Structure 1
């Protein structure tokens, strides 16, 4: 009977450790998506952006937030306007 209790406690500890590890991984992913608090062009996908007057392709969500929060002029979602104003 003692062996059964020991196995149950070991199983419970393994489940708890797995849940804790998953929680750490999930919170790291959420934190990576919210560094800088947004804003994003698209929080779930890579996009094309105009950054400081130059078009940048395949920008991941964390970098989107960094670019948009940079305060650089001519930084916005989408390709830069190439035609003269």
Structure 2
């Protein structure tokens, strides 16, 4: 099989990689493509189950927090929007 390198940049990069690794251009290019494919596959696999991992993360921690609805007064107190803070009387 033949691989045709059609740009000067691709040729330069392939030659530099081969020179730095001490490998033939074929071996250097083969390893580089193999390593990139491995990274992309791992990234795709990681991203594929992201939603499920996040759901599990939330489920595992949900009971640690008060999740009841917050009243307006509680919200205002938490963020500092109390009548006293706003210079108003209650």
TM-score, length of structure 1 as denominator length: 0.37
Higher percent of residues as strand: 1
Higher percent of residues as helix: 2
Q: Which has the larger radius of gyration?
A: 2
Structure with more contact order per residue of length (Cα contacts < 8 Å, sep ≥ 6):
1
